[in-house]
Amino acid sequence: MSGWVVRAAWGRVAGLGLVAGLGLVACSDPSPGGTASSGDDGSGSPASSGGEPGTTGEAGTTTADPDSSSGAPMDGYPPEVLEVLDLPWPPDEYDPPLPAHFLTPAVQALDNTPPGNPITDAGATLGRVLFYERALSRNETIACATCHPQATGFADPAELSEGFDGGLTGRNSMGLVNARFYATGRFFWDERAATLEDQVLQPIQNEVEMGMTLDEVVARLEARAYYPFLFEQAFGDPGIDADRISRALAQFVRSITSYRAPYDEGLAAVGGDPLVDFPTFTEQENLGKQVFFGVGNCASCHLGQQGDPLPPGTPPPNAAIFMLVAPANNGIDVSLVGEDNGVGDQVGDPALNGLFKSPSLRNVDLTAPYMHDGRFETLAHVIQHYDNGVLPHPNLDARLEDESGQPQRLNMQTVDKQALQVFLSTLTDAAMIEDPRFSDPFRG
Ligand code: HEC
Ligand code: HEC
């Protein structure tokens, strides 16, 4: 996928400690677009409407600009940028080498980066600025980050989020971590966006969320002195259009990767097999990990990989992402037709009613409340649900049913439930939460 090269073999890191910093290869082609034929989305090309799924970012529909990350020499930000923005020079690295458990073929296969929009440092830097840009909302009160704050895993601590005019969103805001590793590339709880490039333009135009048209946003950004330089760095010329806004925001969101949690450290210490006890874990954390992969059966969904299920005891080839590969029904409701039918409403097929995508469980300790409507306030509530609260929805996923097709009743011991919760906190990635690359670049 788009310049990803798997050069790190599992064996190379077996038995070693932390792998980040071992000099594993950078994950992206050093000059994205450099070999693409006449990449050009200069001001003459039509801007994406953003309203139609798949108009941007799909394979072959856009190409990276040749100058996007290599080429023209740069010697620092001009004063009109530095007056407003606190940005490092040279730009931060947004596609750094990832540890070995992200470089397995199974995980690489999940990457939804389109060939036409690889992460570049200048593109993601522009995306970072846009993510914190309040001018994207009608009354300039809110930015993407308002509903997706870094401190809480880019999820809103409120059950429903408040839009620019005080209106509430229909669902709980989603954590954005590791969004890059979702193979279908579809976004939102009901997967109504076909690509991330398509998704990122939707909140801007949503009447409750930001309430703008794309033309208005382009005009506003053109009027701000700091943007032409940032667009030029990212795309080769200072032209601003909706397609470039979409590509920069998508690059930034894809760059938000969590790979430095205690879980990652433990996994590296055992050479990548999550079923083995981690020497860096407490006894309770190791017990919780056993529950997650064992009786709790959480891994069968939340560490999804494509293809056939593996025989029990086989180390999962994806031990990194903590996301489903497709929406599912997890039995939080009982009736076939409810207030919010998720994918079923979206696709117009009741056989898919009650199926929802789930965000990654990475940083889940920080992303409360939980589920598409934010109904569970704590992880203890979530665990209680899976332990003995799963409801017999007609579309309940088979992985949550017992042998006779009834909703599972795990009836776990309290020690196991507590351990599972403690294990989930080992997915909290302080380095990501505090990473300046993802923080608000606006001064004062
Ligand atoms: C007013 C609050 C609000 C604002 C502003 C907002 N979002 Fe969201 N975001 C949400 C909610 C709520 C959802 C889930 C909506 C749904 O699925 O129906 C969501 C979902 C998403 C998703 C889908 C994640 C996934 O895994 O499928 C992405 C990506 C995202 N937002 C990025 C952004 C970006 C980029 C911006 C700024 C352009 C933004 N959001 C602005 C509230 C907001
Ligand atoms: C059948 C697949 C499946 C299994 C098995 C499963 N889940 Fe889930 N999980 C889901 C789906 C689907 C959602 C999103 C449902 C919704 O919001 O409507 C979800 C949501 C969650 C959430 C909320 C995420 C968020 O950001 O709001 C947590 C936490 C969670 N699951 C933990 C677990 C744990 C712990 C286990 C094991 C005890 C588990 N899950 C087992 C499918 C599954």
pLDDT at 42 over 70: no
Mean pLDDT of 309-323: 84
Quote the pLDDT of residue 326. 95
Check pocket membership of 330 for ligand 2, CB cut-off 6 A. Answer: yes
Mean pLDDT of 123-128: 98
Check pocket membership of 174 for ligand 1, CB cut-off 6 A. Answer: yes
Quote the pLDDT of residue 440. 98
Cα 365 to the center of its chain, rounded Å? 16
75: pLDDT confidence band, cut at 50, 70 and 90?
A: confident
Closest listed residue to residue 247, CA positions, set 236, 235, 238, 256: 235
Check pocket membership of 332 for ligand 2, CB cut-off 6 A. Answer: yes
Atom of ligand 2 nearest to the CA of 360: 26
Mean pLDDT of 332-347: 96
The pick from 173, 184, 361, 372 for probing ligand 1's pocket by mutation, whose C-beta has the most ligand atoms within 8 angstroms, reads 173
Taking only the tens place, the pLDDT of each residue in 206-233 is 999 999 999 999 999 999 999 999 999 9
Check pocket membership of 296 for ligand 2, CB cut-off 6 A. Answer: yes
Residue nearest to atom 40 of ligand 1 (CA): 144
Check pocket membership of 163 for ligand 1, CB cut-off 6 A. Answer: yes
In this predicted structure, which of 8-12, 104-108, 292-296 has the lowest mean pLDDT? 8-12
Could you give the CA distance from residue 223 to residue 14 in angstroms, rounded to a whole number? 53
315: pLDDT confidence band, cut at 50, 70 and 90?
A: confident
9 sits in the region (left: phi over 0; alpha: psi -120 to 50; else beta) called: beta
pLDDT at 129 over 60: yes
Query: Hunting for tokens 């690295």 — which residue is that?
Result: 93
Could you give the CA distance from residue 260 to residue 144 in angstroms, rounded to a whole number? 24
3-state secondary structure of 86: coil
316: pLDDT confidence band, cut at 50, 70 and 90?
A: confident
Residue type, 204: I
Check pocket membership of 181 for ligand 1, CB cut-off 6 A. Answer: no
Query: Hunting for tokens 């006894």 — which residue is that?
Result: 283
Own/partner contacts of 40-48, CB < 8 Å, gap of 24 or more, are: 40/65, 41/65, 41/235, 41/241, 41/243, 41/244, 42/236, 42/237, 42/239, 43/237, 43/239, 43/241, 45/241, 45/243, 47/214, 47/218, 47/241, 47/242, 47/243, 48/197, 48/201, 48/242, 48/243, 48/246
56 sits in the region (left: phi over 0; alpha: psi -120 to 50; else beta) called: beta
Quote the pLDDT of residue 305. 75
Could you give the CA distance from residue 46 to residue 62 in angstroms, rounded to a whole number? 11
Check pocket membership of 171 for ligand 1, CB cut-off 6 A. Answer: yes
Could you give the CA distance from residue 394 to residue 290 in angstroms, rounded to a whole number? 30
Quote the pLDDT of residue 45. 35
Atom of ligand 2 nearest to the CA of 324: 42
- Is CATH 1.10.760.10 the classification given to domain 262-431? yes
Residue nearest to atom 34 of ligand 2 (CA): 298
Atom of ligand 1 nearest to the CA of 191: 27
pLDDT at 133 over 90: yes
Measured from the alpha carbon of residue 248, the closest ligand is 1
Mean pLDDT of 103-119: 96
Measured from the alpha carbon of residue 169, the closest ligand is 1
Percent of the chain at pLDDT > 90 equals 80
Closest listed residue to residue 36, CA positions, set 3, 73, 72, 74: 3
Could you give the CA distance from residue 427 to residue 278 in angstroms, rounded to a whole number? 14
Own/partner contacts of 188-192, CB < 8 Å, gap of 24 or more, are: 188/357, 189/342, 189/356, 189/357, 189/372, 190/327, 190/342, 190/343, 190/345, 190/346, 190/356, 190/357, 191/327, 191/343, 191/346, 191/357, 192/53, 192/346
Tokens representing residue 377 in the block: 């306030």
Quote the pLDDT of residue 12. 27
Check pocket membership of 397 for ligand 2, CB cut-off 6 A. Answer: yes
pLDDT at 127 over 70: yes
Quote the pLDDT of residue 47. 35
Taking only the tens place, the pLDDT of each residue in 366-388 is 999 999 999 999 999 999 999 99
